[in-house]
Homo-oligomer: A and B are copies of this chain.
Amino acid sequence: MNIAVIGLGLMGGSFALDIKSVYSNSKIFGIDNSDSNLKEALALDLIDQIITYDDLIKMDIVLVSIPVNYSLIVIPKVLEKINENTLVFDVGSTKEAICQILENHPKRANFLAAHPMAGTEFSGPKAAHKGLYISKTNILCEFEKTDHKLREFALEIFDNLNMKIIYMDPKPHDVHVAYVSHLSHISSFMLGKTVIEKEKNEKNIFDLAGSGFESTVRLAKSLPETWTPIFLQNKNNLVLAIDEYISNLNALKKIIENNDSNKLSSILNDTNRIKEILSNKLENGK
């Protein structure tokens, strides 16, 4: 099987490793607009060979794993280059814009809009690692718009990666991820910013940082090139989510200012429910 990966960062590089572990006879081809990424991907054995867009005609699968603003330009171009049996899918964190742009594309049926809930705060080919996709949730949007044979092919691949499939329309997808993914990144980035600003005047504040701070601020290490276009593409949903977050913060601040111990305690208690919610999720994910 010939598999092309366009964009050899964390997501693309890890997919190359995971798909190769499942289909060991496949050959992995790479495209990236960074020469150093291409060289690194070859050196790290993520890909077997560098190709150009004109070679996409020979591919069985094309994964597009690039920032979501570039996807809007690159995916239509990819669809023009492939053969009629090629499956093209993406891993972007926003789905409305890409589905809209491809709505009337003559090769729409060759595309599958996918969003694997997988990732780390690290980036580039060196961040790629085996197992990133294994057993993760994969959200598929407008599944019915993909050719039925390619749909089956895609499900077979995801099944081999032991992924849990969720079907969702692009609009609700973008609403949901605004809360469970994009807002987490915003809250973490702004926590990092607030503490760094304080640190300018107060030396060694970070010597005090425990594991709690480190886990809450982890996502603030994420790549700006990836997250800037995600935040902007999901602007409408994300702004609402940030508003609700700020309103909760303001309300809690008031409660603290008023020394309202009962109310404060009751809010923390209610929020502790996240424990059961997440552990149910983990159990169901098994």
Using CB atoms and an 8 Å cutoff, list the residues of chain A in contact with chain B: 117-121, 136-137, 139, 164, 166, 172, 175-177, 179-181, 183-199, 202, 204-222, 224-225, 227-229, 231-232, 235, 238-239, 241-246, 248-250, 252-253, 256-257, 259, 261, 264-275, 277-278, 280-281, 284
Q: Kindly state the separation between the CA atoms of A256 and B238 in the bound complex, as whole angstroms.
A: 9
Find out whether the CB atom of B220 lies under 8 angstroms from the CB atom of A166.
no
Cβ-defined partner of A278 (8 Å) among B193, B206, B243: B206
The 3 closest A-B pairs by CB, nearest first: A224-B268, A117-B210, A184-B216
Contacting pair B210 A181 (CB below 8 A)? yes
Q: Which residue of B lies closest to A281 (CB)?
A: B206
Supposing A187-B187, A256-B235 touch, asked if A180 and B208 sit within 8 A by C-beta, the answer is yes
B248 touches A190 (CB 8 A): yes
- What is the total number of copies of this protein in its complex? 2
With a cutoff of 8 Å between Cβ atoms, the chain B residues found around residue A164 in the complex are 207
Residue from A120, A218, A259 with most neighbouring chain B CB atoms (10 Å): A218
Closest to A278 in B: B214
A244 to B176, CA, bound (A): 27
State in angstroms the CA–CA spacing of A187 and B253 once bound together: 11
Determine how close the nearest CB of chain B comes to the CB of A235; give it in whole angstroms: 6
Q: Are B185 and A212 in contact (CB under 8 A)?
A: yes
A245 and chain B: residue at smallest CB distance: B194
Chain B residues whose C-beta falls within 8 Å of the C-beta of A257 in the assembled complex: 235, 239
With A196-B277, A232-B261, A249-B246 given, is the CB distance from A208 to B139 under 8 Å? yes
Q: Is the CB of B209 within 8 A of A281?
A: yes
Known: A194-B179, A232-B256. A206 touches B137 (CB 8 A): no
Whether B177 and A208, one on each chain, are in contact in the complex, defined by CB atoms closer than 8 angstroms, is: yes
Q: What chain B residues lie within 8 Å of A244 (beta carbons)?
A: 194, 197-198
A194: B residues at CB distance < 8 A: 179, 183, 241, 244-245, 248
A178 vs B3: C-alpha distance when bound (angstroms): 50
CB distance from A114 to the nearest CB of B (A): 13
B193 touches A205 (CB 8 A): no
Given known pairs A248-B194, A256-B232, A268-B224, the reply for A219 and B209 (CB within 8 Å) is: no
Assess whether B196 is in contact with A180, with CB atoms less than 8 Å apart.
no
> When the two chains form their complex, are residues B216 and A218 in contact, meaning their CB atoms are under 8 A apart?
yes
Given A249-B190, A257-B235, A273-B196, A219 and B215 touching (CB < 8 A)? yes
Closest residue of chain B to A277 (Cβ to Cβ) is B206
B217 touches A205 (CB 8 A): no
Chain B residues positioned under 8 Å from A188 (CB to CB): 187, 216
Residues from chain B with a CB closer than 8 A to the CB of A242 are 249, 252-253, 256
- Tell me how far the C-beta of A276 lies from the nearest C-beta in chain B, rounded to whole angstroms: 10
Name which residue of chain B comes closest to A234, CB basis: B256
